[in-house]
Amino acid sequence: MQLQLATLCDSAADYQGKLCVLGAFDTLCAQQFPVVHPQCSLALRLLFEPADRGRHEMSIILTDESGTEVMPSFAPVIDVSFPTGFVPFVTRNLVLNLQRLRFEKPGVYRFHISLNGDSISNIPLRVTRFDEMRATSGPAG
């Protein structure tokens, strides 16, 4: 199995097997805390080879800097099968639409992604206080 893409973005969709991603980001700025981010998506694209055939359990957990979970964990199951004939690989897109994420304080949060108990990615999200100096350099600070 290969993780081809893992990103936090404004929105994402699986469109006939194509993963459409809009507005990838890694930083949120807020004027005050706690803050609630209205909507975003976590987009993943996985590639499986014939040896990966079968059932795979995934886990997605968002934690703060102390390791405390910020939202309920998500645990999709991915069934990988191959059509008859020679097919060297198959891909699966996973889009997790996140609504009303609440961040109590500034810091670096992480999406921990594992497959069958093995970590495959940790996606950081920097949540920071907005200030006038940062406003002149763009949203990422």
Q: Which residues contact 7 (CB under 8 A, 6 or more apart)?
A: 21, 24, 42, 43, 123
Q: Is residue 116 a part of any domain in this protein?
A: yes
Q: Is residue 140 a part of any domain in this protein?
A: no
Write the Ramachandran bin of 13: left for phi over 0, alpha for psi from -120 to 50, otherwise beta.
Answer: beta
Encode pLDDT of 31-54 as tens digits. Answer: 999 999 999 999 999 999 999 999
Q: Is residue 124 a part of any domain in this protein?
A: yes
Q: Is residue 80 a part of any domain in this protein?
A: yes
Domains in the chain: how many in total? 1
Q: Is residue 23 a part of any domain in this protein?
A: yes
Encode pLDDT of 16-30 as tens digits. Answer: 999 999 999 999 999
Domain encompassing residue 90: 2-135
Q: Is residue 117 a part of any domain in this protein?
A: yes
The CATH number of the domain holding residue 116 is 2.60.40.1930
For the chain, what's the residue count?
141
Confirm if 128 and 27 have CB atoms less than 8 A apart. Answer: yes
Encode pLDDT of 73-117 as tens digits. Answer: 999 999 999 988 889 999 999 999 999 999 999 999 999 999 999
Q: Is residue 56 a part of any domain in this protein?
A: yes
Nearest by Cα to 81 from 91, 73, 67, 96: 91
Mean pLDDT check: name the lowest of 50-54, 116-120, 127-131: 127-131
> Which residue has tokens 């590639």?
47
